[in-house]
């Protein structure tokens, strides 16, 4: 039996859209009927592109009565939200890679979709080519997932790896990531951790089966990480990665955050380099699993979009209620705790005057704030007679750590308190 022919509308033909166009062309039962772009005359590196199906009016896609699946690949909130809403109201199923939209308006969109008995699939929105949404919603659904530790942004992982392994400057590495099509239209979304925060918001919601609100997710980017931190981290046996994590405790409190983290070199995430992403999940009964693969770029992302399109196309005309397991069922809001109340280990680089008693003062301030030191390393004395001191703490409460830092800053023999970076717990 040959597969039912399904007409698709594409909104966006940029990095991801062009990868999707070229990938879907291989499937005879999928017909790309209309493509909306911002500028029809823009040169595009797609040799077999049928110019006659291009439009600068996305309403021609979402209002086209023949189109059954709309793929949204323009990004951002508007007009993406309005276009998806109209498409759903017009009876179309949706595939999107728009993590920002899902993190900010997912609940509204899924409610609209359910009201109209349509599905919204978004495998490409999180970790690019890694299959993670469908596995969590299907084969892993019997698990009680309590921990996610992940690298969810390809651009920042690429930048950190290039700085670390090849000595590139931050600016050079970011430029390369942009040229390779990994970065967002505004790369601040990548380097300031917003993109990873959008992704962990949705991932944690799925894994914990309770809705995590984006504004409760702690976020820090990589812009303060410098070559000195990387060098010291390497010497001490760590790699610095931008991680997205979510922990769920026995009292149903969620701790969801994005920040740079020192990862011991023997741990899996330390070896996830360049554009590769990885998601480590811990749950019962599965234990721990890690999925890794390309986290950005035209074709890896197209793989996920194509998988979603084919999943929907396979069911159109066979049932009145498509893909029940892929629908959104989150009705409870997760209680997300404040980062100040969390316990972490910390790396801190202190620049201090080379005077007697300074190390004792640092130790005393830590002790007064309930912080035990795992290691205390005095680096070289510089020409201006200052000492670089690196401390790594045992588990301490974030609020106590910040209090200790403000005490350090008040001390006249402490010149500078540099980057505070959290260290992966054992």
Q: Would you tell me which residues interact with ligand NAP (CB under 6 A)?
A: 11-17, 36-39, 42, 58, 73-75, 79, 97-99, 124, 128, 181-182, 184-185, 296-297, 301
- Contact in structure between 416 and 351 (CB atoms under 8 Å): yes
Q: Please, what is the minimum distance in Å from the beta carbon of residue 155 to ligand HSE?
A: 3
- The entry of ligand NAP, ligand HSE, none that residue 19 binds, CB within 5 to 8 Å by partner kind: none
Q: Which is nearer to ligand NAP, 132 or 350 (CB)?
A: 132
Q: Are 117 and 316 in contact (CB under 8 A)?
A: no
137, 199, 239, 241: the catalytic one is 199
Tell me whether residue 21 or residue 182 sits nearer to ligand HSE (CB atom): 182
Task: Say how far apart CA 201 and CA 277 lie, in whole Å.
Answer: 16
CB of 118 to ligand NAP, least distance (A): 20
Q: Are strands 6-11 and 30-36 parallel, antiparallel or unpaired?
A: parallel
Minimal distance in Å, beta carbon 97 to ligand NAP?
Answer: 4
Measured at the alpha carbon of residue 66, what is the angle toward residues 65 and 70, in degrees to the nearest 5? 90
Task: Tell me, residue by residue from 149 to 168, as one string, x for binding to ligand HSE by CB under 6 A and - for no binding.
Answer: ----xxx-------------
Beta bridge partners of 240: 262
- Please return the burial class of 53, using the count of CB atoms within 10 Å of its CB with bins 0-12, 13-18 and 19+: middle
Q: Minimum distance from CB of 195 to ligand NAP (Å)?
A: 7
Q: Does 80 bind ligand HSE (CB under 6 A)?
A: no
CA distance 219 to 196: 9
| DSSP helix/strand/coil, 319 | coil
As measured in angstroms, the least distance from the Cβ of 320 to ligand NAP is: 30
Phi, psi angle pair for 333, to nearest 5°: -95, 135
CA distance 20 to 18: 5
From ligand HSE, ligand NAP, none, interface partner of 75 (C-beta below 5 to 8 A by class): ligand NAP
Measured from the CB atom, is 112 or 183 closer to ligand HSE?
A: 183
Q: Which residues contact 420 (CB under 8 A, 6 or more apart)?
A: 346, 347, 348, 401, 405
* 231 in active site: no
The Cα–Cα gap between 205 and 90 comes to: 28
Please choose, from the candidates 422, 403, 238, 400, the residue with its C-alpha nearest in 3D space to the C-alpha of residue 345.
422
Q: 145 touches which of ligand NAP, ligand HSE, none (CB within 5 to 8 A by kind)?
A: none
Least separation, in Å, of the C-beta of 154 and ligand HSE?
4
Q: Which does 201 bind (CB under 5 to 8 A by kind): ligand HSE, ligand NAP, none?
A: none
Q: Please list every residue from 182 through 201 that binds ligand HSE, using CB under 6 A.
A: 182-184, 190, 195
Cβ count within 10 A of residue 27:
16
Q: For residues 125-154, which are near ligand HSE according to CB under 6 A?
A: 128, 153-154
- Residues with a catalytic annotation lie at 199
- Residue ranges binding ligand HSE (CB under 6 A): 128, 153-155, 182-184, 190, 195, 295-296
């Amino acid at each position: 039996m040959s597969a039912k022919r399904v007409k698709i509308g594409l909104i966006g033909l940029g990095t991801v859209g062009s990868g999707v166009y070229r990938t879907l062309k291989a499937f005879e039962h999928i017909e790309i009927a209309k493509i909306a772009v911002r500028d029809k005359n823009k040169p595009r590196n797609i040799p077999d592109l049928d110019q006659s199906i291009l439009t600068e009016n996305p309403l021609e896609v979402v209002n086209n009565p023949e189109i059954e699946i709309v793929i949204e690949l323009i990004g951002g909130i508007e007009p993406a939200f309005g276009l998806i809403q109209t498409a759903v109201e017009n009876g179309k199923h949706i595939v999107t890679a728009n993590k920002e939209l899902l993190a900010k308006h997912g609940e509204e969109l899924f409610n609209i979709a359910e009201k109209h008995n349509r599905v919204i699939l978004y495998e490409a929105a999180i970790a690019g080519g890694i299959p993670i949404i469908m596995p969590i919603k299907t084969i892993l659904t019997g698990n009680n997932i309590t921990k996610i530790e992940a690298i969810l942004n390809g651009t920042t992982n690429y930048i950190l790896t290039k700085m670390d392994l090849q000595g590139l400057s931050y600016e050079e590495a970011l430029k390369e990531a942009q040229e390779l099509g990994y970065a967002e239209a505004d790369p601040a979304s990548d380097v300031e951790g917003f993109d990873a925060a959008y992704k962990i918001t949705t991932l944690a919601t799925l894994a914990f089966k309770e809705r995590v609100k984006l504004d409760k997710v702690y976020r820090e980017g990589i812009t303060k990480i410098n070559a000195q931190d990387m060098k010291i981290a390497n010497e001490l046996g760590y790699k610095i990665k931008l991680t997205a994590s979510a922990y769920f405790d026995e009292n149903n409190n969620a701790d969801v955050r994005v920040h740079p983290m020192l990862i011991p070199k023997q741990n899996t995430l330390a070896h996830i380099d360049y554009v590769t992403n990885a998601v480590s999940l811990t749950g019962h009964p599965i234990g721990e699993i890690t999925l890794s693969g390309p986290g950005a770029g035209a074709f890896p992302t197209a793989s996920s979009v194509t998988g979603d399109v084919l999943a929907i196309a396979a069911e159109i005309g066979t049932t009145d209620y498509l893909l029940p397991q892929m629908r959104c069922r989150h009705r409870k809001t997760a209680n997300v705790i404040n980062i100040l109340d969390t316990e972490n280990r910390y790396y801190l680089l202190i620049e201090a005057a080379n005077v007697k008693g300074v190390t004792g003062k640092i130790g005393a301030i830590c002790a007064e704030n309930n912080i035990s030191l795992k290691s205390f390393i005095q680096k070289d004395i510089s020409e201006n007679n200052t000492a670089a001191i690196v401390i790594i703490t045992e588990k301490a409460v974030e609020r106590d750590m910040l209090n200790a830092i403000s005490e350090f800053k008040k001390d006249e023999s402490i010149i500078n308190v540099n980057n505070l970076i959290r260290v992966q717990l054992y």
